[in-house]
Amino acid sequence: MAFSASTTRPKLSPAQRTMLHNAIHGRPLETSLTRNSTSHKTHSTVQALHRAGMLAGIDHRPTEAGYAFFAVPEQTKAPFIGA
């Protein structure tokens, strides 16, 4: 599920963004997750990242789409242009 700079970023939960960021930087996936996220949802979060095409393999390495997620700027509201 690779996407280009002209497309919008896929929506990821805060826990998914944190896990993907950790994977890209070589940290353990659970680092910096909140207590609720680590208690019982980490497996589901990793599965969701695999389904989204952001992680691959049994070692949960980031894919091109995973790296591209942080390369594409987040879309914000258009700046106000006027008097």
78 found inside a domain: no
53 found inside a domain: yes
Residue 56: domain span: 14-71
| Residue 7: predicted pLDDT | 59
4 found inside a domain: no
51 found inside a domain: yes
83 found inside a domain: no
42 found inside a domain: yes
| Residue 27: predicted pLDDT | 87
Grouped pLDDT means (10 residues each) for the chain, 83 residues: 58 90 88 65 86 92 92 64 60
64 found inside a domain: yes
| Residue 57: predicted pLDDT | 92
Q: Which two tokens stand for residue 61?
A: 């390495």
Q: Are 67 and 24 in contact (CB under 8 A)?
A: yes
7 found inside a domain: no
| Residue 23: predicted pLDDT | 92
| Residue 5: predicted pLDDT | 47
